[in-house]
Structure 1
């Protein structure tokens, strides 16, 4: 047999790295039914609780009634509908940029943008903890590709000094597995010293950071000159699906011409754009959602500290508890599930070896009682699973 897939799968099982798909049998929310079991969930990215919001659902349904359920073609053929265009204009205004471009997924947005902007003879520099889609984009671009130490401006500077051609510095805004923020002001200043562009994937920052939910760029008060390329996804705080790139007129026109994942993909259903327009209004208008998140984050961090657990330094809804071994992370996740709590164990290769963790994510729909229930379940799970097991 030329491909020994059985051995590869067996090795992954033996290393406690085998992945399985939980079957969600209810709408997305903080209370879900997974594999037939009712659970209190702390593992989705629906940070503002908009995925099942009645107004967003109604906008989706009305969009489907008016526009049908399929995009029908790529944007450059006949798939660019009025709802897509209206959403792009709204996202441009939201981010304070001249233009925005809608894509069908965050992975596509990252892959298409990087590969359209740089190629052979150019340089891509990325944070070591960037999302896999960003790393893949750098590798596939054909440019000289290097990763600097996490949030280390000195490490970035040494690589910038050796860069060739057009240079793109790429970072997550909020790092998805650690929950910490990019040191964006210093990073932008260092990039400017060397004439490099900065691209930020703020998938987990939009909706959660900034006075109006504008993400990490708004949080730090940066502009389009400092961050020329801004990526956002719509399947997290926005509660719908897809992604966008925001920037200058020239950037967006260049992506329309050269970003292959955009050019050669059928557009998302117009109804999704209708729903996202409504969720954008809620995201901007209902500030209480971000205020609730901040309160829950503070409550959770205080409670976990009291339990003596190793909580990573994160001011965001992503609150990872560092466990160490994959086996122990799986054991704690299973112990929580027996108590009706769903928290995902994150293991290598998603995170470095020896840094397996429980990745707790909070939503504006959680209550203080929900967080207390999680903390109590964690305390019980720790007693059930002895240290080092």
Structure 2
């Protein structure tokens, strides 16, 4: 094959013209930027107890897990975390992966061992979309957050085993899925419901148990829950929770579990300690609720109407990809980090800033950050 690098350069040029290039921006350990871009919603990633638990496990186990979970990578720390995650999520069993992305790939593909049809929300995260693709099963994409559309599709395929895939709080705009209505649709038609609870875990539900628990669906035999451990829990990794036979199936067949090096025990221990803190973090969840209202009020008054978030994710529309990039860059230059979402990260083809609330940001810094966002608007 000749000229392949030239072909890549031409593709890069096309992305540049469309305003769709991306940059890595390394940050120092002492970074002073106000963080409204990351996903450390409860501000626990640097909590002293979390760091101490991780440091103790680092000393005890060493840097890495040294192998995949089925070889040498499973430790007491992994087993303890999985037990507590299952309890927290109200599930029969839980399995930890090295990332939320890999957990979603495994969960979707695992469900298709018994399901011939996938029904997927149009705004689902890339990891869920990729899980649908690698499964090899027929996938029908429904209009966003539309249980009636899901019902229509399932009714058009009577008797065909299906899994419906959704997020609880959607990662682009932060809106809440209609989970009770959706489960009524799937349960009445014998379909499975797979819910990515990544952006609701730690924030919604009793003691922060997530959007699935808030909807009264925890522990249902026809519900599979996935989540990342890198957002409200402040660490890394992912989890799939659900009926024990399904978790057993993933251990036996899940390629992203079997062939991947396990999550380092030091990270597992830090996440486990964070989970304990999340259970007793109503004060931090109250801060997020207050800041959500403050953000909506401030941005709407400035002429940027935003919907009240279901959890801690808000989106502000930008005129286009170039404007979104410039807006985010100007905020960063003034000490405020905000997310910049452009196609293909935005399924509707529009560009926006994504703001993620963080209970660990001091009040004065948070208020200043809102001022900066408004002042830097295109």
Report what 2:215 is aligned to.
220
Shift of 1:377: 1.5
Deviations 1:148-176 (A, max 9, x none): 11011121112112336421101011100
| Of 315-324 and 148-157, the range deviating more from structure 2 | 315-324
Match of 1:195 among 158, 180, 190: 190
Q: Would you say the 8 A contact 1:299–1:371 is kept in 2?
A: no
Shift of 1:216: 0.2
Distance 1:227 1:368, change over 3 A: farther
Report what 1:144 is aligned to.
138
CA RMSD, Structure 1 to Structure 2 (Å):
1.6
Report what 1:12 is aligned to.
15
Report what 2:106 is aligned to.
112
1:372 aligns with 2:375: no
Q: Would you say the 8 A contact 1:312–1:321 is kept in 2?
A: no
Q: Would you say the 8 A contact 2:107–2:226 is kept in 1?
A: no
1:22 aligns with 2:25: yes
Deviations 1:28-74 (A, max 9, x none): xxxxx2xxxx4222100000111111111110110011111211222
Distance 1:278 1:74 in 2: 23
Distance 2:355 2:284 in 1: 18
Distance 2:375 2:99 in 1: 39
Distance 1:352 1:62, change over 3 A: same
Q: Would you say the 8 A contact 1:333–1:342 is kept in 2?
A: yes
Report what 1:86 is aligned to.
80
Distance 1:73 1:339, change over 3 A: closer
Distance 1:68 1:121, change over 3 A: closer
Q: Would you say the 8 A contact 1:329–1:358 is kept in 2?
A: yes
TM-score by length of 1: 0.92
Mapping for residues 1-389 of structure 1, pairs under 5 Å: 1-3=2-4, 4-26=7-29, 33=31, 38-118=32-112, 122-163=116-157, 165-225=160-220, 228-352=223-347, 354-382=349-377, 385=378
Distance 1:270 1:158 in 2: 45
Gaps of 5+ in 1: 28-32
Deviations 1:180-227 (A, max 9, x none): 011100000001121000000111110011130001012122232265
Q: Would you say the 8 A contact 2:34–2:361 is kept in 1?
A: no
Distance 1:73 1:338, change over 3 A: closer
TM-score by length of 2: 0.95
Shift of 1:335: 2.2
Distance 1:87 1:354, change over 3 A: closer
Gaps of 5+ in 2: none
How many residue pairs align between the two structures?
Answer: 374
Distance 2:114 2:107 in 1: 15
Shift of 1:245: 0.8
Distance 1:368 1:227, change over 3 A: farther
Q: Which has the higher contact order (CA 8 A, sep 6+)?
A: 2
Q: Would you say the 8 A contact 1:188–1:226 is kept in 2?
A: no
